A and B are shown apart, each in its own frame.
Chain A
Amino acid sequence: MSLSDSLPEYDSDRALVFGTVAILLGLAIAVTPVTVTIPGDLYVFFEVGILFVVYGILVLGLDLQYGHTGLVNFGHVVFFAAGAYTMAMLSAVDSFEGIALGYPWPVGLVAAVVVAGLLGALVGATSLRLRGDFLAIATLATAEIFHTLFINFTDIFGGSTGIFGVPTPLGDLAGTRDATLVTTLLVLGGLTALTFAVVARLTEAPYGRVLRAIRADELVTRSVGKSTFRYKMQAFVYGAALAGLAGAIFAMYQGAISPDFFELQVTVTIWIGMLLGGASNHRAVLGGLGIIMGLRLFSRFVQGSAPVTTGEFASIRLILVGLVLILVIRYRPAGIWGDDRELEVDS
């Protein structure tokens, strides 16, 4: 039997294996006295790669909410921020502004997931009984409210400055810059793969079938006796909790957070990546996210040779992004890799 035959068959199992191996490998590299070096030219790819895997957890959570359950969450960044801020406020040491309690980082991590999940429950309670676009508005409004709160309460949240001094356990373990980059990418990538495994396991099960039924036609699903509100709430909270996890590990990678890391742009990027790749297909949404982020990185390299100024280039890039969104919805609503079924979320 070749190696590929002995690998597990289901996506979720494969991802589980891959994720565990990646994390162990990453940690091994961190603790080993053997030095790792990577050429300086590749640093930027590692950094964007790390950001990609963090956003990857975000998009998987969003896909659970929208792709599988049909919930339109336009404030996903607020759960990301809630996780990051909880992590930072609980475990940072000696921040220039804001609260920094200095607890050990595992405490912050668990709290981040819990807080984000609770926030998800709260937001869900307001709008999950209503039609889909109301949820979009409620989530957007929540994101705006929290953004304003973070900026205005300097003593608590650090205001426009943010919170510094967040522990960076991977960086401390690894030591050198090269090793930190490799370790972080492997460990965080592994976490993303584990998230993939969990989410895929959930949606491959009968549970996932109920979610998709709700997305297709909630009335029918309810008439079959399923408490649709409960399922929707669960999917929403899981997605929010995953975003909280992403926020916590993001904070631990950066070592400091500020409101500028959690702007509407993050939500837009995640959404376009998800729709472009193909909502409801876990691998597809990661692929779509990769394309969007890859294009942005690529555009940085070529902007010097383009015959327009950088300001114009940035505007052109955003116009193209908007057009991609419009065209995908119109001509290929299932995305590049998605199923050829229309994704209708309102009956």
Chain B
Amino acid sequence: MGLVQNLIFGLVTGSYIAIAAIGFTLIYGIVDMINFAYGEYITVGSFIGLLSASALPLPLPIAVLVAMAGGGIASLLLAKLFFTPINHTGPIPMLLTSIGLGLVLRNAIRLVAGRNARYYDTETTTWQFQNVPDLSVGSVDLLGGFFVTSQQLVVVGCALSVFLVLHAVLTRTDVGIAMRAMSDDEALARVRGIDTQFIRNSVWVLAGMLAGLTGVLLGMQTNVSVTTGFSQILQILSAAILGGAGSPYGAIAGAYVIGVVLALSTAFLPTGMTGISSAIAFVILIAVLLVKPSGIAGQEVRKA
């Protein structure tokens, strides 16, 4: 059980979750709602990507861009139809609406696309590094042999580029700065003349694009089906809360923590208990809520 190997796995898993968690947490911070239909945005993105890659057919990188664009548009449309009209009612009705929307979308996708899973056509290369010394401490190998696949590099690479682009947007563009202002204090932002509805729309588009990207990456890793995004929603949620709800930087940190903990728990839990490693994310969530609800980034959590 090499630590390095498991850290690599954790970083890869964390990357998927991070990209999605950023979008999710931005919605939370700026539109002030938990969007339980976000998993379906991811699924839609993966279907769009698959259709462009196989039916048209477009080369994979272009298909990714199409999926991101499609995700952004779909997200904006759904927001205008379902969320913007009830913005004033508060987070709970919006949360409930998103649950209903998720139900509708999942089954609509099922009706249209059927139940079968579909697959991306990808080739993966693996690079093995097996001659690294073990450096054992007890039963744990600190180093040990490991391997890296091209798919893993693509995922991590995408995540890093997303982080850089996001940082640039948030710090150097007017829209990004306005987003940060709104996330901090909406009333004050409006006083400063920021068009809050426009910023909200921008957030929907951005979150949709990130969901689309996650969808394609997930689809390549597993398959494209009705549950592609839905199966990850609780981990994304946990990452966002762990990182501090509303903070994109926190979401990144939270996602990697969850990814690494998932990998390590699978590696080190006693035999017979490895099946519960997926629930570890939720245990972390509850622990965070108990101990430090403001999360890693220390976002102020409005007490009831």
Contact = CB atoms under 8 A, between A and B. Distances in A.
Whether A and B touch directly in their complex, counting CB atoms under 8 A apart, is answered as: yes
Interface of A: 72, 125-134, 136-138, 140-142, 144-145, 148-149, 151-152, 218, 228, 268, 271, 275, 311-312, 315-316, 318-319, 321-326, 329-330, 333, 342, 344-346
Contact of A137 (B89, B99, B111, B285): B285
Q: Is the interface of B mostly helix, strand, loop or mixed?
A: helix
B71 interface: no
Contacts of A129: 303-304
Given A127-B289, A271-B96, A346 B301 contact: no
B115 A325 contact: no
A218 B303 CA distance: 10
Contacts of A149: 276, 279
B86 A141 contact: no
Contacts of A148: 275-276, 278-279
Contacts of A228: 304
Contacts of A330: 85-86, 97
Contacts of B303: 129-131
B302 interface: yes
B286 interface: yes
Given A131-B301, A316-B111, A322-B104, A136 B95 contact: yes
Given A130-B304, A329-B97, A329-B100, A145 B282 contact: yes
A132 B302 CA distance: 10
Interface string B230-251: 0000100110010000000000
Given A72-B92, A275-B96, A333-B89, A315 B110 contact: yes
B304 A131 contact: yes
25 contacts: A125-B290, A131-B301, A131-B304, A133-B34, A137-B285, A138-B289, A141-B285, A142-B286, A148-B278, A218-B304, A268-B99, A268-B103, A275-B96, A315-B111, A319-B107, A319-B111, A322-B102, A324-B100, A325-B97, A325-B99, A325-B100, A326-B97, A326-B104, A330-B97, A344-B90
Given A133-B91, A144-B234, A138 B100 contact: no
Nearest to B279: A148
A268 B102 CA distance: 12
A346 B90 contact: yes
B93 interface: yes
B137 interface: no
A333 B115 CA distance: 34
B101 interface: yes
Contact of B301 (A125, A130, A152, A312): A130
A144 B234 CA distance: 9
A228 B304 CA distance: 10
B282 A312 contact: no
State the 10 A-B residue pairs at the shortest beta-carbon distance, nearest first.
A325-B100, A322-B103, A322-B104, A148-B279, A141-B282, A315-B107, A326-B100, A322-B100, A318-B107, A152-B275
Given A312-B111, A345-B92, 11 more contacts: A72-B92, A132-B92, A133-B92, A134-B241, A152-B275, A218-B304, A275-B96, A324-B100, A325-B96, A326-B104, A346-B90
B32 to A, nearest CB: 9
Contacts of B97: 325-326, 329-330
B286 A152 contact: no
A114 to B, nearest CB: 21
A330 B89 CA distance: 9
Interface residues of B, number: 45
Contact of B304 (A137, A333, A346): A346
Contacts of A318: 103-104, 106-107
Contact of B89 (A131, A142, A268, A342): A342
A232 to B, nearest CB: 8
A324 B238 CA distance: 28
Contacts of A142: 282, 286
Contact of A130 (B106, B278, B285, B289): B289
Interface string B72-100: 00000000001001100111110111011
B148 interface: no
A59 to B, nearest CB: 15
Interface string B52-85: 0000000000000000000000000000001001
A284 to B, nearest CB: 17
A301 B283 CA distance: 43
B273 interface: yes
B208 interface: no
Contacts of B96: 271, 275, 325, 329
Nearest to A154: B272
B94 to A, nearest CB: 9
B284 to A, nearest CB: 9
A132 B304 contact: yes
Given A137-B237, A275-B96, A329-B86, A145 B286 contact: yes
B108 interface: yes
Nearest to B109: A315
A141 B238 contact: yes
A233 to B, nearest CB: 12
Nearest to B290: A126
B254 interface: no
Contacts of B301: 130-131, 134
Contacts of B33: 133
A326 to B, nearest CB: 4
B293 interface: yes
B111 to A, nearest CB: 5
B111 A326 contact: no
